[in-house]
Structure 1
Amino acid sequence: MIVDSNVENYIRSLSSTKDSKLLELEKYAKENHVPIIEAEVANFLNVIVSLQKPKRILELGTAIGYSSIIMNLAYRDAKIITLEKNKKMVEIAKKNIMDFEFSDSVDVVQCDAYEYLLDCDEKFDMIFIDAAKGQYLKYFEESMKLINDKGIIVCDNVLFKGMVCDEEALTKRHRKITIVKRLNEFLEYISNLEEYKTSIIPIDDGMSISYKI
């Protein structure tokens, strides 16, 4: 755990969803073991989007469309492109987004996120990365080419259950060691970029926010 469980549960109780349709999405995700952002992360995104008011948002990792909906609820004028490789998730996300009447502002694209970044020539005010954790450095490097000045790149799950600073986790042989090492490289990289101001925030599984100066 990154945050003491009592503190985390308390924050989540304060951040709990009131919207009945969002509650249904949370229930579906829990029952079907689909990872979505936790309540405190949803609140964080809500505040960031409300403050930044990004006209164009790119999201890497749609799942059931929960975070796209959260961001669009925060700023209704935002146009969001969200990328998802899994066909089933794309279909579910499109239905959920339609239920919120956001189909005109949220475009779900079935594709490989990295390939999309390589081919994309559009610019965005905000990019939210919540896809394959071991690929974050690649995603970020390509995202920098697409972000507008004074834009932000937000990444979820960057502390990976605290394993990024666990010496034992970094030396033991286990299936997640490659992801942990790559996340270490990623965090070191974004923390030393001269053209960005970056903050790493220990909520839920860790988040980073990088602001292009």
Structure 2
Amino acid sequence: MPPPSLQLEIRDLAVRRGPRLLFEGLGFALSGGEILHLQGANGAGKTSLLETLAGLRRPAAGQVRGLPEEGGLHWLGHRNGLNLNLSVLENLEFWCGLNGAGAAACQPALERVGIWKLRHRLVRTLSAGQKRRAALARLLAQRRPLWLLDEPLDGLDRQGLELFAQLLAEHAAGGGGALVTSHQPLPAGLAGVRILVLNP
């Protein structure tokens, strides 16, 4: 089943980190099938923008319209959100239980990202790329229309980058949308990609 249609609209958004104004007057729209690549120097507010859209930070001003209802988005931070002392499978099972996804979704998700054979390995024993794949599996265990991805390419080798491109393309083709921060270019050949540069 495709995710619900996405029509996200940002108007005159301002975000602060402590006393510092990161940006103001920001406006853009994102529809299903589109990928917005957020670029900018360190400190420009890319992560803070994603945190604001994820509900982890309150905007200083502006409007956010069309955010999916509760449970309608995936937030993937650059630290992966994995418990290093649990196995790959235990991490995903915990996430599924927390978010109402069935445990049966774990195996196909881990197979899709190529680490089902590592399911019983403790996360702390994995390479950086394997940890990133374990984090990406959360995106597949439950369909959600909006992906907020903070530096998802970090740690991925060539095959990992190809896998990420396939997952992102399938998500967009199914009507989903994504905001992606990355200091490196997104994999070539992705359709529906637009660039938004944040200036500090």
Instruction: Report the TM-score range of the alignment, normalised by the length of the smaller protein.
Output: 0.3 to 0.5
Choose between structure 1 and 2 for higher RCO, CA contacts under 8 A separated by at least 6 residues.
2
Higher relative helix content: 1
**TM-score of the pair, normalised by structure 2:** 0.37
